[in-house]
Amino acid sequence: MATLSDLGIKLFSDGADFQSIMSMYANPWVKGFTTNPTLMRKAGILDYEAFGRNLLRAIPDRPISLEVFADDEYEMESQAFAIADWGPNVNVKIPVTNCTGVFMKGLIQRLSRAGVTVNITAILTLDQVRRVADALDVRTPAIVSVFAGRIADTGVDPVPIMQAAREILRPLSNAELLWASPREVLNVFQADDAGCHIITVPPDMLQKLSLVGKDLAAYSLETVAMFYKDACASAYRIHALAPAIAQAGASERITSTASARFSTTASA
């Protein structure tokens, strides 16, 4: 069975709660951080720039991806250069398209050629991966984030897609493939097997990594004990029959079932 020490993939914590992020920063398994406007809104972040700058000051030695939030290409570009100036370890997240579906080829090219480390996000198709690969400057580090979890949500196996994406990016020695939106710990090992360089993992899933390699029989027993403990704590009650009555009822049900089967067979 594979263990965490066998993994070649890097784990990035995905979230926007500052205290949770700092807790993950103390975890040696966590090699970087990502966030996005949706996570920041859920966390109650009101000042985007202040949050981003504080995060980069608090974590100066690991990569942190912060996303532009404009929809106009040139406003995105202005935001991207501004974010890139906040710290040397920032990766600027750029959506693969704008809200009308226009591919951000020109923006990706200009930023990558200017030496900005971009994280191209919200990718779900191999065609998008190819177009992003064509737009990236081979000299500049970049992250290509394919939302494997969202692909799986549609009933499609993301593993072959991620394997194909890895082959598309192979000529780009500075581009890293990121498995985004994982749904379970198993995805960490799937991403590693597929050749991904990075996987983003939310804090609750990072906590589950302690289960890797756990004895399943022991885990089964813990599960049974959990159900029992919670039922007792809730003071649940069932008005059960006395043992003798219950046994008699069971015998009667067995007899009735057998008679019904005999009757059905005879009729046939």
Q: Burial of 36 by CB count in 10 Å (0-12 exposed, 13-18 middle, 19+ buried)?
A: buried
Condensed to tens digits (0 to 9), the pLDDT of residues 141-169 reads 999 999 999 999 999 999 999 999 999 99
Between 240 and 231, name the one with better pLDDT.
Answer: 231
pLDDT in tens, 53-84: 999 999 999 999 999 999 999 999 999 999 99
Return the pLDDT at 266.
54
pLDDT-derived band at 239 (thresholds 50, 70, 90) equals: confident
Q: Nearest Cα to 90, choosing from 46, 55, 122, 42?
A: 55
What average pLDDT does range 35-64 have in this prediction?
A: 97
Q: Is the pLDDT of residue 248 over 80?
A: no
User: Tell me, what's the pLDDT at 117?
Assistant: 98
Per-residue pLDDT tens for 189-201?
A: 999 999 999 999 9
Rounded to an integer, the average pLDDT of 19-29 is 95
Q: Give the model's confidence band at 6: pLDDT under 50 very low, under 70 low, under 90 confident, else very high.
A: confident
pLDDT at 241: 73
The DSSP-derived string for 136-178 is: S-TTS-EEEEE-HHHHHHTT--HHHHHHHHHHHHTT-TTEEEE
Rounded CA-CA distance 66/63 in Å is: 10
A 10 A CB-CB count for 186 gives 10
What mean pLDDT, rounded, does the chain reach?
A: 92
Task: List the domains of the chain with CATH numbers.
Answer: 4-211 (3.20.20.70), 216-267 (no CATH)
Question: How do residues 82-128 score in pLDDT, each as one tens digit?
Answer: 999 999 999 999 999 999 999 999 999 999 999 999 999 999 999 99
Q: Which residue has the higher pLDDT, 248 or 175?
A: 175
pLDDT value at position 260? 57
